[in-house]
């Protein structure tokens, strides 16, 4: 919901802050006062293009801002999160235009593009008027509205998912057919590689173990010689280290009778002797196990050579051969799963059947919902100065199925009995277009998703009872959505919950526009002006009071209720 519209140095507005609440608000004022400037400013905040002429004469920069309350609008908050524009609390949109024609925009303090302004605007505001960008004029919005009105938005989502599944299955089928030759060549190459690696019998860790064994076998003689020499130095002969260390330990221990402190040092000698004895026995065992086996060395080196040759052929490290075999087998299995052209064709056919079953169900529901929507909108049009007018929801079969179903949705209208039905987007009259939009919004008020609706020129060419009906319908619509209306009709203004007067001040050299909220006495005067112009009498004021006191609810001629 729009909470605040702030304007600085825009056209003839120097400074303006318009605070809005929920319900039905009207903007009134004399012709040329600048009521449409407010809507132009809001449209710029929602993605329209700035023009340099919109800068107030003499100003260096125009600045516009709007604050929207996002209560109960999780889809808007979700979009802001996806775009990296989320913030706690209300949504702030700001835009500037300088004298050089440069325009900049921000959403929640972060730089934003015009596309992002348009995307967030489509979720927040719908402007109905002669030159406004109305979501109701797009085929996508019309289709969504019919689906929401009928209560089968979820089914439409299932149709879209089924369509995507069908397209994926077709792509897989066609891709296989186009790449069958290359796929077969790849399978043949992989099969040869798999057979070679399987025959080689590569095991994880084998290369490392063989490398260690080859090094040991190749240096067996030197290892044996070293082990023998060291063992002899440790334990063989009178000059062996173990014997000498034992003698030294005995001398130290023998002198301990004279100084007990030598006992601790003697213990250290004993620990060293024990360690050397263990080292000697370990060398003896190592020497006994060590073998000089040329045949084993030859076999090990041949195995290493075979692994190295295979690794070089397939351009991997020797230790990566087991992983390569696993990858080859996995890829072959994957290709085998998609190699069955008949299975792919059956899968595509089943996906098409699933899609068409859901799409045909959606088409039937759309037919029923469209008929009910047509009756509602047509009935409301009769009360809006379009007697004999008709509204029709066209469901045109598509030449090819689409993600949204089997038909194109198009709203068509005829303003009077002799006028042929034409697409809503081609309605020439701004007032007529606004009234038709009002009829549609009232008929679909329960399912509409746009929180703020703005109507401009909705009262063009009407008056009297029709004007009162427009006012009552707008007030009824405002019970579910925020409604803002620019009007010249006192009957419409009298039905509003909040009333703002737009006025122009100054002379030919300097003109500025102001907006003033009206309390009850001032509101009576403004409605009296709208009734009688400059000559306001006691009777005019009494008529104004009567309009303000009339019940603000649709009469018997209002739109039919949805069953």
Nearest Cα to Cα of residue 528 among 514, 518, 539, 517: 539
In the sheet with 2-10, reading across from the earlier edge strand, the strands are 13-19, 2-10, 61-68, 91-98, 103-107, 110-111
Averaged pLDDT for residues 10-21: 89
pLDDT band at 251 (very low <50, low <70, confident <90, very high): confident
* pLDDT for the residue 563: 34
* pLDDT for the residue 375: 94
User: Is residue 367's pLDDT more than 70?
Assistant: yes
pLDDT tens-digit profile of 129-143?
Answer: 655 556 778 888 899
pLDDT band at 155 (very low <50, low <70, confident <90, very high): very high
Side-chain-side CA neighbours of residue 3 (13 Å)? 10
Q: Which residues of 155-183 are buried (b: 16+ CB within 10 A; e: fewer)?
A: bbebbbebbebbbebbeebeebeeeeeee
In whole angstroms, give the CA distance from residue 366 to residue 397.
12
For residue 493 the two structure tokens come to: 């203004």
User: Is residue 500's pLDDT more than 90?
Assistant: yes
pTM for this entry? 0.61
* pLDDT for the residue 197: 81
In whole angstroms, give the CA distance from residue 471 to residue 28.
14
User: Is residue 44's pLDDT more than 50?
Assistant: yes
User: Angle between the 430-443 and 341-382 helix axes, to the nearest 10 degrees?
Assistant: 110
Sign of the CA dihedral running 467, 473, 479, 481: negative
Torsion of CA 183, 185, 191, 196, to 10 degrees: -140
- Percent of the chain at pLDDT above 70? 87
DSSP state of 148: H
At 191, is the secondary structure helix, strand, or coil?
A: helix
* pLDDT for the residue 222: 63
* pLDDT for the residue 503: 87
Q: Which residues of 71-81 are buried (b: 16+ CB within 10 A; e: fewer)?
A: eebeebeebbe
* pLDDT for the residue 274: 82
SS3 content of the chain, % helix, strand, coil (to 5): 55, 20, 25
User: Is residue 540's pLDDT more than 80?
Assistant: yes
* pLDDT for the residue 23: 92
Q: Could you tell me if 442 and 478 are in contact, meaning their C-beta atoms sit under 8 angstroms apart? A: no
Most confident of 326-330, 361-365, 533-537: 361-365
User: Is residue 553's pLDDT more than 60?
Assistant: no
User: Is residue 85's pLDDT more than 80?
Assistant: yes
For residue 160 the two structure tokens come to: 């879209």
pLDDT band at 409 (very low <50, low <70, confident <90, very high): very high
* pLDDT for the residue 7: 93
Averaged pLDDT for residues 13-34: 87
What's CA 148's distance to the chain center, in Å?
Answer: 21
- Percent of the chain at pLDDT above 90? 29
Cα distances from 88 to residues 80, 141, 193, in angstroms, run 11, 29, 59
At 470, is the secondary structure helix, strand, or coil?
A: helix
pLDDT band at 557 (very low <50, low <70, confident <90, very high): very low
The answer for residues whose C-beta is within 8 angstroms of residue 382's C-beta and 6 or more apart is 388, 389, 557
In whole angstroms, give the CA distance from residue 414 to residue 125.
26
For residue 20 the two structure tokens come to: 């809005």
Alpha helices, DSSP H only, in 290-340?
294-314, 321-337
Averaged pLDDT for residues 85-99: 90
Q: Could you tell me if 94 and 64 are in contact, meaning their C-beta atoms sit under 8 angstroms apart? A: yes
In whole angstroms, give the CA distance from residue 450 to residue 444.
11
For residue 256 the two structure tokens come to: 């301990």
User: Is residue 390's pLDDT more than 70?
Assistant: yes
Q: Which of 160-169, 356-365, 410-419, 456-465 has the lowest mean pLDDT?
A: 456-465
pLDDT band at 354 (very low <50, low <70, confident <90, very high): very high
pLDDT tens-digit profile of 54-72?
Answer: 888 888 999 999 999 988 7
DSSP state of 137: G
* pLDDT for the residue 126: 85
Q: Which of 70-74, 223-227, 347-351, 470-474 has the lowest mean pLDDT?
A: 223-227
* pLDDT for the residue 307: 76
Averaged pLDDT for residues 501-521: 81
pLDDT tens-digit profile of 172-196?
Answer: 888 877 766 667 778 888 888 888 8
User: Is residue 558's pLDDT more than 50?
Assistant: no
Q: Which residues of 43-55 are buried (b: 16+ CB within 10 A; e: fewer)?
A: bbbbbbebeeebb
Averaged pLDDT for residues 483-489: 90
pLDDT tens-digit profile of 311-337?
Answer: 788 888 888 888 888 888 888 887 776
Q: What angle do CA 472, 475, 480 make, to 5 degrees?
A: 135
pLDDT band at 397 (very low <50, low <70, confident <90, very high): very high
For residue 224 the two structure tokens come to: 């044996």
User: Angle between the 220-235 and 262-289 helix axes, to the nearest 10 degrees?
Assistant: 150
Averaged pLDDT for residues 503-525: 82
In whole angstroms, give the CA distance from residue 214 to residue 208.
10
pLDDT greater at residue 160 or residue 72? 160
* pLDDT for the residue 218: 59
User: Is residue 508's pLDDT more than 70?
Assistant: no
pLDDT greater at residue 38 or residue 211? 38
The mean of the pLDDT values for the chain is 83
* pLDDT for the residue 433: 80
């Amino acid at each position: 919901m729009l909470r605040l519209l702030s304007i600085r140095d825009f056209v003839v507005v120097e400074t303006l802050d318009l605070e809005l609440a929920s319900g039905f608000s009207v903007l009134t004022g004399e012709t040329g006062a600048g009521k449409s400037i407010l809507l132009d400013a809001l449209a710029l905040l929602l993605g329209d293009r700035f023009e340099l002429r919109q800068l107030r004469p003499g100003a260096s920069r125009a600045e516009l801002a709007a604050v929207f309350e996002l209560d109960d609008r999780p889809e808007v908050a979700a979009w802001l999160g996806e775009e990296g524009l989320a913030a706690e609390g209300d949504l702030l949109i700001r835009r500037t235009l300088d004298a050089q024609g440069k325009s900049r925009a921000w959403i929640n303090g972060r730089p934003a593009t015009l596309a992002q302004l348009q995307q967030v605007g489509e979720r927040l505001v719908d402007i109905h008027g002669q030159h406004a960008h109305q979501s109701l004029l797009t085929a996508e919005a019309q289709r969504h509205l019919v689906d929401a009105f009928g209560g089968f938005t979820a089914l439409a989502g299932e149709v879209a998912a089924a369509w995507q599944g069908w397209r994926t299955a077709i792509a897989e089928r066609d891709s296989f057919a186009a790449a069958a030759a290359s796929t077969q060549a790849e399978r043949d190459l992989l099969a040869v590689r798999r057979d070679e690696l399987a025959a080689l019998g590569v095991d994880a860790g084998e290369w490392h173990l063989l490398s260690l064994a080859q090094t040991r076998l190749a240096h067996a003689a030197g290892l044996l010689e070293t082990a023998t020499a060291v063992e002899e130095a440790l334990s063989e002969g009178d000059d062996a280290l173990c014997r000498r260390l034992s003698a030294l330990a005995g001398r130290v221990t023998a002198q301990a009778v004279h100084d007990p402190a030598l006992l601790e040092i003697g213990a250290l000698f004993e620990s060293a002797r024990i360690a050397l004895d263990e080292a000697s026995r370990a060398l003896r065992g190592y020497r006994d196990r060590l073998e000089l086996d040329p045949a084993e060395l030859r076999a090990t080196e041949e195995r290493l050579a075979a692994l190295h040759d295979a690794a070089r052929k397939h351009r991997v490290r020797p230790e990566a051969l087991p992983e390569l075999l696993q990858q080859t087998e996995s890829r072959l299995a994957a290709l085998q799963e998609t190699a069955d052209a008949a299975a792919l064709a059956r899968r595509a056919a089943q996906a098409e059947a699933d899609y068409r079953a859901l799409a045909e169900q959606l088409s039937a529901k759309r037919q029923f919902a469209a008929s009910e929507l047509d009756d509602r909108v047509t009935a409301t049009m009769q009360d809006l100065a379009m007697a004999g007018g008709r509204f029709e929801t066209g469901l045109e079969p598509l030449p090819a199925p689409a993600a949204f179903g089997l038909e194109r949705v198009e709203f068509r209208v005829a303003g009077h009995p002799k006028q042929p039905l034409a697409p809503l987007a081609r309605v020439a009259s701004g007032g007529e277009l606004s009234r038709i939009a009002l009829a549609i919004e009232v008929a679909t008020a329960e399912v509409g998703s746009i929180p703020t609706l703005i109507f401009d020129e909705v009262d063009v060419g009407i008056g009297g009872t029709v004007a009162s009906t427009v006012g009552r319908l707008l007030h009824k619509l405002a019970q579910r959505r925020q409604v803002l209306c620019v009007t010249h009709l006192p009957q419409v203004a009298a039905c509003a919950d909040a009333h703002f007067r737009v006025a122009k001040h100054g002379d030919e050299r300097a003109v500025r526009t102001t907006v003033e909220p009206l309390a009850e006495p001032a509101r009576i005067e403004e409605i009296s002006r709208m009734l009688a112009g400059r000559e306001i009498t006691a009777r005019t004021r009494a008529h104004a009071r009567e309009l303000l006191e009339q019940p603000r609810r649709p009469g018997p001629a209002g739109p039919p209720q949805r069953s």
